[in-house]
């Protein structure tokens, strides 16, 4: 299984992914958490944040997810995933693939802007920020859409929704 949690910076995708991974591990499942920023750093930060660099990182995440899934390791990926062609590739090449789309309004993202990305981009201090000067197309057909405009200290309610997805239930029912 590959569970692809998509969203802009600040939507809560990394936090949610961590909760889901924890629950799957508690159930005895072999699962790896892939975070787009962490994979970028792990591979030496050799791709930048331009459209081309982001495309290369997206390709790596998709290929790595397939590689792990082909070996029976479940993957929960917290990714920006701004390229529909890689979402299509995932669906065509990764059995048991599902998408969760985390979304929030720009006002919410600005309030949560711990990396100070949106504020700096809106002031023109930095460029190549997805959702400001790089487009972010909504995923075409996610299995679950979560509107995360509430400032939740506890994301367990959202994790429950993910754990109830058909693909996750299928994994949990296997011995």
- How confident is residue 175, by pLDDT bands cut at 50, 70 and 90? low
Active-site choice (81, 98, 127, 173): 81
Helix/strand/coil (H/E/C) assignment for every residue in the chain:
CEEEEECCCCCCHHHHHHHHHHHHHHCCCCEEEEEHHHHHHHCCCCCCCCHHHHHHHHHHHHHHHHHHHHCCCEEEEEECCCCHHHHHHHHHHCCCEEEEEEECCHHHHHHCCCCCHHHHHHCCCCCCCECCCECCCCCCCCCEEEECCCCCCCCHHHHHHHHCCHHHHHHHHCC
- How confident is residue 50, by pLDDT bands cut at 50, 70 and 90? confident
Which segment of 22-26, 50-54, 78-82 scores lowest on mean pLDDT? 50-54
Distance CA(159)–CA(25), nearest Å, equals 14
- Residues 19-35: what's their mean pLDDT? 96
pLDDT number for residue 96: 95
> How many alpha carbons lie under 13 Å from residue 89 in its C-beta half-sphere?
15
- How confident is residue 48, by pLDDT bands cut at 50, 70 and 90? confident
81: annotated active-site residue: yes
Does the pLDDT value for residue 148 go beyond 70? yes
What is this structure's pTM? 0.92
Structure tokens belonging to residue 8: 């802009």
pLDDT number for residue 84: 96
Does the pLDDT value for residue 153 go beyond 70? no
pLDDT number for residue 1: 97
């Amino acid at each position: 299984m590959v569970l692809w949690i998509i969203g802009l910076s600040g939507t809560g995708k990394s936090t949610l992914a961590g909760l889901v991974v924890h629950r799957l591990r508690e159930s005895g499942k072999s699962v790896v958490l892939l975070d787009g920023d962490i994979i970028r750093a792990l591979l030496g930060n050799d791709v930048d944040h331009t459209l081309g660099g982001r495309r290369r990182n997206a390709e790596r995440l998709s290929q790595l997810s397939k590689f792990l899934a082909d070996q029976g390791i479940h993957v929960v990926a917290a990714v920006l995933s701004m390229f529909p062609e890689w979402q299509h590739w995932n669906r065509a090449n990764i059995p048991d693939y599902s998408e969760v789309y985390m979304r929030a309004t720009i006002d919410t993202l600005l309030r949560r802007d711990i990396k100070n990305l949106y504020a700096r981009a809106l002031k023109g201090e930095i460029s190549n920020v997805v959702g400001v000067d790089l487009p972010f197309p909504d995923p075409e057909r996610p299995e679950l859409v979560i509107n995360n405009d509430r400032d939740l200290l506890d994301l367990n309610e959202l994790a429950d929704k993910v754990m109830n997805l058909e693909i996750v239930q299928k994994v949990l029912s296997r011995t």
